């Protein structure tokens, strides 16, 4: 009879891929690289896994932020040149910064509604109210709901929101503001790809792929979010510098990534700003309607 190799004893095979271990048992599996001695992690190990090379002092995040903040466009240039391992990937960088800033916005953007020094309006404070929604309008006139130039389904939802006791209007306004902020992050996922699309349009002569423009858009928006975080801190001097840094940084980043002379770059930047502004206005209008009726 042919010899049959004995099955590995418990603990002498990799729990991840089943690779048998030779004696003495190695520290890591030779097939998949997982640790051979698997046990429940301690709190210290959790902290190490969370930090690691990502947020360590000399880690990828700080190295990426340094390049992002002080060398406009350089992080995009490095990525497009193939030097990627030392830096945080564009999408992860954008998500990390945007989530932190959006949480900061929700924490700081409070709605304090007062009428004549009181928390609630008098009973007849809002008998007349008009909201301009897109190409139509809706509201209350002498306490009676009206809706003009809007689809029937939208009028029905607006009536449900507005045709209430006048004293509850303040609560609806506060709830609307919170819903608007909650959907802001989702709106950015529509705006950011459109920014890359407009870049591809104005820089069609560069023959870059759309995804390469998208990398630039992710890095620029990450910087914009950082500046927005500084503006929210409401330090007059710092906030003013942060607001000024946005257009200056963007022009310098475009110079590093796309090259070209200043006047054509300014014209391209103006066209992208116009197209992006229209997209932004449309997106915010849709967001406003969505937050109002849902």
The neighbour count for residue 279, using CB atoms within 10 Å, is 17
- Quick: pLDDT tens for 124-155: 445 566 666 666 777 777 667 788 877 787 77
What does the pLDDT read at residue 181?
63
Integer Cα distance of 233 and 241 in angstroms = 12
Handedness of CA 22, 23, 25, 28 (dihedral sign): negative
| Residue ranges covered by each domain of the chain | 1-34, 89-109+183-293, 129-181
144-148: strand order across its sheet:
129-133, 136-141, 144-148
User: What would the DSSP string read from start to end of 188-249?
Assistant: HHHHHHHHHHHHHHHTGGG---HHHHHHHHHHHHHHHHHHHHHHHTT-HHHHHHHHHHHHHH
Instruction: Record the tokens describing residue 128, joined without a space.
Output: 């007349």
Is pLDDT at 62 greater than 70 in this prediction? Answer: yes
What does the pLDDT read at residue 206?
86
What does the pLDDT read at residue 37?
81
Give the residue with greater pLDDT, 72 vs 21: 72
> Cα–Cα distances in Å, from 241 out to 145, 213, 230, 237, 274?
46, 27, 9, 6, 23
Integer Cα distance of 251 and 257 in angstroms = 10
- Quick: pLDDT tens for 236-276: 888 889 999 999 999 999 999 999 899 999 999 999 999 99
What does the pLDDT read at residue 101?
86
- Quick: pLDDT tens for 109-119: 554 444 444 44
What does the pLDDT read at residue 112?
44
Integer Cα distance of 220 and 51 in angstroms = 25
Instruction: Record the tokens describing residue 47, joined without a space.
Output: 């902290």
- Is residue 69 very low, low, confident or very high in pLDDT (cuts 50, 70, 90)? very high
Give the phi and the psi of residue 137 in degrees, each rounded to 5: -150, 160
Integer Cα distance of 119 and 82 in angstroms = 58
**Per-residue exposure over 52-89, b if at least 16 CB sit within 10 Å of its own CB, e if not:** eeeeeeeebbebbbebbeeebbbbbbbbeeeeeeebbe
Integer Cα distance of 114 and 236 in angstroms = 26
Is pLDDT at 182 greater than 70 in this prediction? Answer: no
Handedness of CA 139, 141, 146, 149 (dihedral sign): negative
What does the pLDDT read at residue 274?
95
Instruction: Record the tokens describing residue 141, joined without a space.
Output: 């006139």
CA angle 117, 123, 127 (to 5 degrees): 110
What does the pLDDT read at residue 152?
81
Q: What is the mean pLDDT of the chain?
A: 78
Q: Which residue has the tokens 């303040």?
A: 170
- Is residue 157 very low, low, confident or very high in pLDDT (cuts 50, 70, 90)? confident
Among 14-23, 62-71, 136-145, 219-228, name the one with the lowest average pLDDT: 136-145
What does the pLDDT read at residue 292?
64
- Is residue 57 very low, low, confident or very high in pLDDT (cuts 50, 70, 90)? very low
Give the residue with greater pLDDT, 45 vs 271: 271
- Is residue 54 very low, low, confident or very high in pLDDT (cuts 50, 70, 90)? low
List, in sequence order, every beta strand (DSSP E) within the chain. Answer: 129-133, 136-141, 144-148
The segment with the largest mean pLDDT, out of 82-91, 146-155, 172-181, is 82-91
Give the residue with greater pLDDT, 174 vs 62: 62
- Is residue 291 very low, low, confident or very high in pLDDT (cuts 50, 70, 90)? low
The segment with the largest mean pLDDT, out of 247-251, 278-282, 287-291, is 247-251
Is pLDDT at 195 greater than 60 in this prediction? Answer: yes
């Amino acid at each position: 009879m042919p010899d049959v190799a004995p099955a590995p004893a418990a603990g002498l095979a990799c729990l991840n891929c089943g690779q048998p271990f030779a004696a003495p048992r190695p520290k890591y599996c030779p097939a998949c690289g997982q640790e051979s001695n698997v046990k429940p992690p301690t709190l210290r190990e959790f902290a190490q896994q969370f930090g690691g090379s990502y947020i360590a002092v000399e880690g990828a995040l700080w190295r990426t932020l340094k390049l992002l903040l002080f060398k406009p466009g350089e992080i995009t240039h490095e990525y497009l040149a193939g030097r990627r391992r030392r830096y945080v990937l564009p999408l992860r960088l954008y998500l990390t910064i945007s989530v932190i800033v959006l949480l900061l916005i929700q924490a700081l953007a409070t709605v304090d509604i007062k009428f004549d020094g009181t928390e609630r309006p008098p009973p007849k404070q809002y008998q007349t109210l008009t909201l301009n929604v897109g190409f139509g309008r809706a509201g209350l006139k002498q306490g009676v709901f009206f809706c003009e130039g809007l689809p029937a389904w939208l009028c029905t939802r607006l009536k449900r929101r507005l045709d209430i006791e006048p004293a509850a209007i303040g609560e609806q306004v506060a709830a609307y503001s919170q819903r608007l902020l909650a959907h802001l992050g989702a709106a950015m996922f529509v705006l950011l790809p459109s920014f890359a699309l407009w870049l591809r349009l104005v820089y069609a002569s560069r023959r870059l792929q759309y995804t390469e423009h998208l990398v630039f858009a992710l890095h620029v928006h990450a910087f914009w979010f950082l500046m927005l975080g500084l503006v929210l801190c409401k330090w007059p001097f710092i906030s003013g510098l942060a607001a000024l840094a946005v257009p200056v940084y963007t022009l310098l980043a475009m110079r590093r990534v796309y090259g070209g002379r200043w006047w054509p770059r300014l014209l391209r930047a103006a066209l992208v700003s116009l197209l992006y502004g229209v997209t932004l206005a449309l997106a915010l209008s849709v967001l406003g309607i969505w937050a109002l009726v849902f």
